[in-house]
Amino acid sequence: MALNKLSIDKLSLAGKRVFMRVDFNVPLKDGKITNNQRIVAALETIKYALDKGAKSVVLCSHLGRPDGSKILKFTLAPVAEELKTLLKREVVFLPDCVGPEVEHSLARTP
């Protein structure tokens, strides 16, 4: 079975919300990123979407959630801060991927 995939450069992104699954499973020590290479690897695609006029780019990743439980040491908050630094622009971090807080935040996006 062939899977037909569209690459991002074949899509019209202007004015659209872009959902991007990224691998930000980066090593952390005491809440600090020790190697940001996976974040850096995604920058070109994130910037491409923004440069093509995407109204927002929603990034989805995870570090782990053993037994479905939220554990503070697995938060992606340090990744959001690193993205903010690397992109030199605002990055909104949401502590979950579903629920009222997420819906409210997305609804506020112009």
Measured between alpha carbons, how far is 69 from 57 in angstroms, rounded to an integer?
A: 26
Measured between alpha carbons, how far is 110 from 102 in angstroms, rounded to an integer?
A: 15
Domain boundaries, the chain: 15-99
How high is the pLDDT of residue 4? Answer: 80
pLDDT band at 50 (very low <50, low <70, confident <90, very high): very high
Model confidence pLDDT, tens digit, residues 28-40: 999 899 999 999 9
pLDDT band at 65 (very low <50, low <70, confident <90, very high): low
Mean pLDDT of the chain: 90
pTM summary value = 0.86
Q: Regarding the domain delimited by 15-99, which CATH topology (the fold level of the hierarchy) does it fall under? A: Rossmann fold (3.40.50)
